[in-house]
Structure 1
Amino acid sequence: MKKFIFLIFLCIEGVVYSSPTFKISQPYWNFGEIQEGAKISTRIKIKNVGNEVLIVKIRTSCECLTVDVNNLSLTPLEEKIIKLEFNSKGYSGKTIFYVFFDTNDPEVKHLPWIVEGNIVSLTNYENFLTSLTIKMFYTKGCIVCKKIMTKILPKIEQKLNIKIYVEEYPLEITKNYELFVSVEKELGYQNTKIPAVVIGKKILSGEKEIEKNIYSEIKNVVKQYEEVKLEQRIEQKEIVEQIKSLSVIPILFAGIVDGLNPCAFATIVFLIAYLLIIKKQTRKKLFLIGIFFIFGVFVTYLLIGIGLYKIVGVIEIKSIVSKIFYVLVGIITLVFAGLSFADMIAIKRIESGGQSRVFLQLPGSLRMKIYDFVDKSTKFKYIIPIGFFLGIGISFIEFFCTGQIYLPTIMYMFAYKSLRIKAFFYLVLYCLMYVLPLIIIFICVLFGLNSEIIEEFYRRFVKTVKFLTGVVFFVLSLLMFSVVF
Structure 2
Amino acid sequence: MAHKMVMKTVLLMVAFMVFVAVAGSARADVTMAYFYADDCAVCDELHPFMEELENLSYVTIESYKISSDPYRPNENDSLLADISYAYHSVDNIPVVFLANQWFYFGVEGQMELTKEKLLATVDELKEYEVESPIKDGKLQYPKPVSVLLVYNTSKHERVADAVSALEENISFVRIATLDIRYPENMSVFAHLPQSKTPVAFIGEQNYSLDNLSYLVESAAKYEKIGIDFPAAYEEKPICILFFYKSTCSSCLSVKAKLETLAGKYPLEITEYDIIESKNNDLLLAYYDSYNITRSHNTNIFIGDRYFYSESQLREVEKIIKAHLGTGLECPEAGEANAEKLLEGYTLLTVILGGLLDGINPCAFATLVFFIAYLERARKEAIIPIGLSFSAGIYICYLMIGIGLLEFMNVVRQTVSLYLYFGVGVMALILGVFSIVDFFSIRRGRAAVLQLPLFLKKRRGRIIRHITEDKKITVLALIALAVGFAISALEFACTGQVLIPVITVIQGATSLRAVAVLYLVIYTALFILPLLILLALFHVGYSSTRIGEMQKRSYGYAKLFIGIFLLSLGIIMLLYFFGFISLHYAFG
TM-score per shorter chain, which class? 0.5 to 0.7
Write the distance in 1 (CA, Å) between the matches of 2:410 and 2:354.
Answer: 25
Alpha carbons 1:251, 1:429 under 8 Å: kept: yes
Deviation of 1:360 after TM superposition, in Å, equals 1.2
- In terms of fraction of residues, the more strand-rich structure is 1
Closer, same or farther in 2 for the Cα pair 1:85/1:133, shift >3 Å? farther
Aligned to 1:172: none
Distance 1:187 1:360, change over 3 A: same
Aligned equivalents of 1:400, 1:338: Cα separation in 2:
17
Q: Say what the alpha-carbon RMSD is for the aligned residues.
A: 4.8
Pairs within 5 Å for 1:47-58? none
Aligned to 1:211: 221
Instruction: Indicate which of 234, 254, 272 corresponds to 2:307.
Output: 234
Contact 1:408 1:480 in 2 (8 A): no
2:374 corresponds to 1:275: yes
> Paired residue for 2:439?
345
Paired letter, 1:275: L
- Aligned-partner Cα distance in 1 for 2:563–2:38: 48
1 CA distance for matches of 2:121 and 2:557?
Answer: 75
Deviation (angstroms), 1:262: 0.8
Letter in 1 for 2:527: V
1:245 matched to 2:337: no
Matches within 5 A, 1:216-365: 222=261, 233-235=306-308, 244-277=343-376, 280-283=377-380, 285-316=381-412, 321-350=415-444, 356-365=445-454
Residue identity opposite 1:264 in structure 2: A
Q: Residue 194 of structure 1 is aligned with which of 121, 128, 131?
A: 121
Q: Secondary structure at the match of 2:223?
A: helix
Is the CA contact (8 Å cut-off) linking 1:309 and 1:410 kept in structure 2? Answer: yes
Q: 5+ residue gaps in structure 2?
A: 1-32, 52-62, 88-94, 108-113, 134-140, 144-169, 173-217, 230-259, 268-298, 313-337, 579-587
Q: Deviations over 1:7-26 (max 9, x none)?
A: xxxxxxxxxxxxxxxxxxxx
Matches of 1:334 and 1:217, distance apart in 2? 58
> Where does 1:445-484 land on structure 2 (aligned, <5 Å)?
445-481=537-573, 484=576
Equivalent AA in structure 1 for residue 536 of structure 2: C
Alpha-carbon offset, residue 230 of structure 1: 8.0
Query: Which of 185, 199, 209 in structure 1 is aligned with 2:104?
Result: 185
Measure, in 2, the Cα distance between the counterparts of 1:306 and 1:417.
14
**Aligned positions, number:** 323
Counterparts in 2 of 1:477 and 1:225: CA distance versus 1, 3 Å: farther
> Aligned pair in 2 of structure 1 residues 469, 416: CA closer, same or farther (>3 Å)?
closer
Normalised by the length of structure 1, the TM-score is 0.55
SS in 1 for 2:65: strand
Query: Could you tell me the percent identity over the aligned residues?
Result: 26
Cα distance change of structure 1 residues 258 and 209 upon mapping to structure 2, 3 Å threshold? same
Task: Report the secondary structure of 1:191's partner residue.
Answer: helix
* Of 349, 364, 378, the match for 2:467: 378
Aligned to 1:138: none
Determine whether 1:410 maps to 2:502: yes
5 Å matches for 1:27-38?
A: none
Aligned partners of 1:230 and 1:187: how far apart in 2?
39
Asked if 1:84 corresponds to 2:66, the answer is yes
The aligned amino acid for 1:312 is M
Contact 1:261 / 1:402 at 8 angstroms: preserved in 2? yes
Q: What residue ranges of structure 1 are gaps of 5+ in the alignment?
A: 1-40, 45-66, 88-96, 100-114, 120-128, 135-176, 351-355
**Is the Cα–Cα contact under 8 Å of residues 362 and 401 in structure 1 kept in the other structure?**
yes
Between the aligned partners of 1:342 and 1:456, the Cα distance in structure 2 is: 22
The TM-score normalised by the length of structure 2 is: 0.46
The residue identity in structure 1 corresponding to 2:514 is K
- Alpha-carbon shift at residue 259 of structure 1 (Å): 0.6
Quote the offset at 1:218 in angstroms: 10
In structure 2, the CA distance between the partners of 1:377 and 1:333, relative to structure 1 (3 Å rule), is same
